[in-house]
A and B are shown apart, each in its own frame.
Chain A
Amino acid sequence: MSDSPPPSRPVAGPDEAALARILQESREIRGVSLWQDAWRRLRRNRAAMASLVFLITLMLAAIFTPLLPLQSPIDKDLNNRRFLPPNAESVVMGSRPGLKFEDGRLTAQLAKYQAEIAEQRAEILAISDPVERAEQLAAFDTRSSVEHPFNQLWNQLGPVAFTMCRIRVAIFGDWAVPSLFGTDKLGRDLLSRVFWGSRVSLVVGIVATIVSLIIGVSYGAIAGYLGGTVDAIMMRFVDMLYSIPFIFVVIFLVTFLGEDSVKKILDDYGIEQITIFYIIIGAIYWLTMSRVVRGQVLSLRHEQFVEAARTVGASPARIIFRHVVPNTLGVVIVYLTLTIPSVMLFEAFLSFLGLGVAPPDVSLGLLLNDGVEALSIVELFWWVVVFPGAALALTLFALNFLGDGLRDALDPKMKNRS
């Protein structure tokens, strides 16, 4: 559809001119979709918009944490840097004597390491026997990747995070942000720990919420669409699950999964414990979502577009997931923004009890646990609890405000009103 009438055909009679004008006008009128309307209303809600901006910033910061010029989140310095209050003294990466880095600088060590690697590699490549060469090369590669200097400063970087760390070193060199948040009881920089911890907490929150979204929406939509006895049975089941104190079951499950033999079995299948952790949390937060979606679907399933889809012979599965579910999106998004904070809180709670994310991984819950342990009257190390606490509280705050704002914005009763 082009925006102007084709110029090649001249306007003939007055009727056609009128028609063209009307068409022109109708093109200029824009319908306001639900989403545009909601967005318009959301933009007026200052608290929600501030939260949205904050959350997007946080999300970007979490994704690109390895790129930021932060100090090492795991490098301990028990001699000189325990419980340093927040300060702005400049720090050089890899300067701790215990690391035994060349010149006390990460870049120098990296250069030395790469030179050594290249040399040794060349030696191996000089081996004439191809089989032996391949073997030695493989062994050497695994060994050298373990010995990489990054492994002393960062914990188990994935391939993407590893690349990001390299880019970070290439851009910022040895420079790192000073310990603006102070250091903790093992002399680790709190600022970088808060960043890395937020990353883990956010990932737990989002992944678990997505799991709960998938289960809850499918379950609720199927129950609501099929209706009748199926619906009654499915919803009775949800009622029953509501009465189970899931926290306790989860703690029980986490304990069970932490058992060495079980861990080994999982490792054999290549499943990490934290993955299971996400899935378990997600699997218990779908109940409310399924109820809400079911309620929506119940009111949608006699709408004309559903009838139409059925008339042209669409299968129930197609009707549910292509026609009905997209129409419940508004409510789902609202509940999504309210589920993420409760999941994050739950993760913090479990980590606090020592049942969640395990060190050397960091999460906000673990940081808070450290902070609470360090609280004492003798010396007031307030920064170890205030900064992680503030990070968690701010995130939850923002998510709550955004959820409330979205609920108001997507409320159909508010349509075309202020």
Chain B
Amino acid sequence: MKDLLSYAIRRFGWMLLTVWAVYTVSFVLMRAVPGNPFSSERTVPPAIERQLRARYNLDAPPIEQYTDYLVGIVTRGDLGVSIRLEDYTVNEVLAEGFPVSASLAILALVFALTLGVTAGVVSAVYRGSIGDVALMATAVLGIAIPNFVLASLAILLFVFLIPIFPAAGWGTLRQVALPALCLGAPVAAYVARLTRAGMLEVLGREHVRTAFAKGLPKSTVILKHVLPGALLPVVSYLGPATASVLTGSLVLEKIFALPGIGSHFIYAATQRDYTLAMGMVLTYTVLLFVMNSLVDLSYAVIDPRVKLQ
């Protein structure tokens, strides 16, 4: 328990350091662009532009802006005002989009894990059968086809040709299912391969042979003795999987027109909305860091040999 606490504290320290580094780099880049957010707009009378600059704290020296913004984030959690979206603060955009993106990502991960692990177990148990070959071929296909292509094909197939799912929109489970499926597909494929490799390795171990020799039913051996050991690589893949789901959500939200933060991020990037983009980068950094730490923790819980450092 003490281990856990000190680990958590250390990780938190590292997270602060990382976020700070990301913040600094983004800030420097943002300010390195000549001009300011108002210089490219329709020409505003100089007096008004001065006021605008004062309102957004753009007239302060860079160092002061840097610290002010940082202090704002740390003390009030205030990420500033979006430059391009009228009447929106970055926090509001995040608050609106986050639930959408989070549920999409979680659903995709759940789907990927269930499907991937099941496929991996089946193909390892029936190694060499037609089913195994077919599943693994599908898995390679899932890795090799970019998910945006998959998504557009899926839309064509399941929305237009065989209308099972609605084309876009957000709210009901049916609307979420198709994007989540497409988002989870590459992860599922990878998980299936990892599970299969892990299963095959554990299946060859002595304790499994003993379990079979004792006359335990096949399902018990597989589920109780093989699967836990085989899942270790899958658990350690969860960190990268989260990253890939977050990345994939950028395009999928664009394709399915979902109001998540991913689509805002693309918008922010293409429209040069620096405060919004920076807010997003910071949010994603925190998310990924928390997820990685959780993965490390769960790894230590599952495998007692792993020591937290």
Partner of B148, one of A355, A368, A401: A368
Q: Which of B2-33 contact A (CB under 8 A)?
A: 14-15, 17-18, 21-22, 25-26, 29-30, 32-33
A201 CB to closest chain B CB (Å) equals 12
Complex contact B152–A244 (CB within 8 A): no
- Chain B residues close to A by CB (< 8 Å): 14-15, 17-18, 21-22, 25-26, 29-30, 32-35, 140-141, 143-146, 148-149, 152-153, 155-156, 160-161, 239, 243, 246-247, 250-251, 254-255, 265-266, 269-270, 272, 277-278, 280-281, 284-285, 287-289, 292
Complex contact A240–B247 (CB within 8 A): no
Complex contact A375–B156 (CB within 8 A): yes
B33 CB to closest chain A CB (Å) equals 5
Q: State whether the Cβ of A393 lies closer than 8 Å to any Cβ in chain B.
A: yes
Complex contact A372–B269 (CB within 8 A): no
Partner of B140, one of A259, A385, A400: A400
Complex contact A353–B251 (CB within 8 A): yes
Determine which residue in A247, A348, A392 has the highest number of CB atoms from chain B within 10 A of its CB, and name it: A247
Complex contact A261–B35 (CB within 8 A): yes
Q: Complex: how many Å from CA A158 to CA B230?
A: 52
Complex contact A240–B269 (CB within 8 A): no
**Interchain Cβ contacts under 8 Å between A and B, 5 examples:** A245-B285, A261-B34, A262-B32, A385-B153, A392-B146
Q: Which residues of A contact B251 (CB under 8 A)?
A: 349, 352-353
Q: State whether the Cβ of A35 lies closer than 8 Å to any Cβ in chain B.
A: no
Q: Which of A237-252 contact B (CB under 8 A)?
A: 239-240, 242-245, 247-249, 251-252
Q: Which residues of B contact A248 (CB under 8 A)?
A: 265, 280-281, 284-285
Complex contact B270–A252 (CB within 8 A): no
Q: Which residues of B contact A341 (CB under 8 A)?
A: 144
Number of interface residues of A (CB under 8 A): 40
- Which residue of B has the minimal Cβ distance to A369? B148
Complex contact B146–A372 (CB within 8 A): no
Complex contact B18–A240 (CB within 8 A): yes
Partner of A355, one of B141, B269, B281: B269
Q: Which residues of B contact A358 (CB under 8 A)?
A: none
Complex contact B145–A393 (CB within 8 A): yes
Q: Complex: how many Å from CA A248 to CA B22?
A: 11
Q: Which residues of B contact A368 (CB under 8 A)?
A: 146, 148-149
Q: Complex: how many Å from CA A371 to CA B32?
A: 37
Q: Complex: how many Å from CA A285 to CA B102?
A: 26
Complex contact A349–B153 (CB within 8 A): no
Query: 4 closest pairs, A vs B, by CB?
Result: A396-B144, A377-B160, A245-B284, A372-B152
Partner of A396, one of B35, B143, B254, B285: B143
Complex contact B156–A377 (CB within 8 A): yes
Complex contact A353–B281 (CB within 8 A): no
Known contacts A239-B14, A262-B33, A400-B144, then 4 further A-B pairs from the complex at CB < 8 Å, ordered by chain A residue: A252-B29, A372-B152, A372-B255, A375-B155
Q: State whether the Cβ of A360 lies closer than 8 Å to any Cβ in chain B.
A: no
Q: Complex: how many Å from CA A176 to CA B26?
A: 49
Q: Which residues of A contact B148 (CB under 8 A)?
A: 349, 352, 368, 372
- Using A352-B148, A354-B270, A396-B144 as known contacts, say yes or no to A240 and B14 having CB atoms under 8 A apart: yes
Complex contact B140–A397 (CB within 8 A): yes
Q: Complex: how many Å from CA A121 to CA B81?
A: 61
Complex contact B144–A397 (CB within 8 A): yes
Complex contact A393–B141 (CB within 8 A): yes
Q: Which residues of B contact A400 (CB under 8 A)?
A: 140, 143-144
Q: State whether the Cβ of A345 lies closer than 8 Å to any Cβ in chain B.
A: yes
Determine which residue in A242, A243, A352, A355 has the highest number of CB atoms from chain B within 10 A of its CB, and name it: A243
Determine which residue in B29, B266, B285, B287 has the highest number of CB atoms from chain A within 10 A of its CB, and name it: B29
Partner of B277, one of A252, A352, A372: A252
Q: Which of A248-271 contact B (CB under 8 A)?
A: 248-249, 251-256, 259, 261-262
Q: Complex: how many Å from CA A239 to CA B145?
A: 29
A179 CB to closest chain B CB (Å) equals 22
Q: Which residues of B contact A242 (CB under 8 A)?
A: 239, 292
Q: Complex: how many Å from CA A371 to CA B145?
A: 14
Q: State whether the Cβ of A316 lies closer than 8 Å to any Cβ in chain B.
A: no
Q: State whether the Cβ of A330 lies closer than 8 Å to any Cβ in chain B.
A: no
Q: State whether the Cβ of A227 lies closer than 8 Å to any Cβ in chain B.
A: no
B82 CB to closest chain A CB (Å) equals 15
Q: Complex: how many Å from CA A248 to CA B281?
A: 6
- Using A245-B246, A245-B284, A248-B280 as known contacts, say yes or no to A349 and B146 having CB atoms under 8 A apart: yes
Q: Complex: how many Å from CA A259 to CA B280?
A: 19
Q: State whether the Cβ of A85 lies closer than 8 Å to any Cβ in chain B.
A: no
Q: Complex: how many Å from CA A138 to CA B278?
A: 48
